[in-house]
Amino acid sequence: MNVLAAWELGGNWGHVARDLPVLRRLQAMGHDVRYAARDATIAASLCASIGIPCVTAPHGAAIRRMPRGLAGYGAILFADGFGDAEILGQRLAGWMRLFAEHRIDVVLADYAPAALLAARMYGIPSVAVGSGFEIPPDSVELPSFLTDADRDAPARRFSEGLVLFNVNRVLRALGAAPLERLAQVFQGARNVLTTVAELDHCGARPDATYAGPLQDLPGGVAAHWKGTTGPRVLVYLRGVDPVVGHVLRALDAIGAEVIAVLPDVARRPDVRAEIQVFRQPVRFDGLIETADLVIASGSGTVTTASIAGVPVLVLPGNAEQAMLARRVTQTGAGMSVDGGTAATVLDAIDRLLRDASFRTGARALAAKYTGLRMESAVQTVIDEIHNVSSHHS
């Protein structure tokens, strides 16, 4: 079986960390696998280290950072070229050329809406894998990113209708059946959500396949706790905004032992030696489970910590992360600080370390999902790949 993993939207290490364990397992089973990645600079060296061919995913428009106030999925797709028929048509054609060149049997789509559309047109099955945000519910009206959904509804519906009109215009021109609703852009023949119901950005879905967190980067650096007397805090944050500095200074002030993964920080902050700072990927196995607190923003790390029974402080930097932060707060396993000051960040860290209710909430979540591990998540994705392949042949 020839499998192509496709990654189009989003950035950083999370998508590669989710895709490569699946491709590596498929490769070990004797399947032919390759990776078409949005950011080949991130993926290529990691793919090369484990012998997986990697190419740049077909694209048409520059992918812009999602603004904090963005209201809905229509705006994301519009900014990614779905609002331009010529760009979208070229992108779909690029994917179909890849399918033909490598005789692809199944597409594994990681936040790759154009690849999913192309697979549908080309007549090959697909499995969509991602968070609850990356695979929204297949509903007539897509969820709002904002808490005041009624206020943004007119603009959101307009953008979604405009993108759907344009998508169907392209599909008809290429001889394919039109879509009934925009949500279908994100749907594979099967969907696997790499989270749990309580942390689904869009709310729990009774019919969803929740595999739990899936992330493992080959070649990640091994880090170890030094065994000092302070609380153990694992930090994984992107960006260089003031909040990162607030976090490190707060942890320095309370004498915490810290492992901080900060890929975007140019130089080591002026903090105690007990604060270990890494710019490269770090292997989290054995670290998260033994931490007293995890400070992060991304779905993979937050979900992994939560079902390991560790309280989480979420520091959202965009609408997607804000949606996740609200779910974490609702579980009682953590809290969030949005755009906080040094004082609010320090207060949140102090509360999470001192208030036993957060640890109780996290342990309750962990007890519910004791069987979910990275290996089981990989197997869930592979089972779905085999299912769609067998039904198609």
**Mean pLDDT, residues 181-208:** 95
Residue 121: what residue type? M
Q: What is residue 61's predicted lDDT score, i.e. its pLDDT?
A: 57
Question: Residues 249-258: pLDDT tens digits?
Answer: 999 999 999 9
User: Measured between alpha carbons, how far is 135 from 6 in angstroms, rounded to an integer?
Assistant: 14
pLDDT score at 67: 46
State the angle between helix axes of 319-331 and 299-306 in degrees (0 to 180), rounded to the nearest 10: 10
- What's the CA gap between 260 and 372, in Å, rounded? 25
pLDDT band for 42, please (50, 70, 90 cuts).
confident
Of 34-43, 83-92, 117-126, 376-385, least confident by mean pLDDT is: 34-43
Residues 338 and 317: their CA atoms lie apart, in Å, by 8
pLDDT score for 45: 79
pLDDT at 203 over 50: yes
Other beta carbons less than 10 A from residue 158's beta carbon: 13
The pLDDT value recorded for residue 70 is: 57
Q: Which of 65, 67, 85 is nearest to 152 (CA)?
A: 67
Answer whether residue 323 shows pLDDT above 70: yes
pLDDT of residue 68: 46
pLDDT, tens digit, for every residue of 1-10?
A: 999 999 999 8
Report the alpha-carbon distance of residue 97 to residue 335 in Å, rounded.
Answer: 46
Domains annotated on the chain, with CATH: 2-212+374-392 (3.40.50.2000), 221-368 (3.40.50.2000)
Q: Tell me, what's the pLDDT at 158?
A: 85
**Sequence-distant (≥ 6) Cβ neighbours of residue 384 within 8 angstroms:** 127, 190, 192, 209
State the pLDDT at residue 60.
63
Query: Closest Cα to residue 131, out of 235, 34, 203?
Result: 203
d(CA 255, CA 228): 9
Q: What is the pLDDT of residue 6?
A: 96
> Residue 43: its pLDDT value, please?
81
Tell me which amino acid residue 152 is.
D
Least confident of 4-8, 124-128, 145-149: 145-149
How would residue 69 be classed by pLDDT, with cut points 50, 70 and 90? very low
The average pLDDT across 123-137 equals: 96
Q: Is the pLDDT of residue 182 over 90?
A: yes
Share of the chain above pLDDT 70, in %: 96
**pLDDT at residue number 151:** 76
Q: Using one digit for the tens of pLDDT, what is the confidence trace for 279-318?
A: 888 888 889 999 999 999 999 999 999 999 999 999 998 8
The amino acid that residue 86 corresponds to is: E
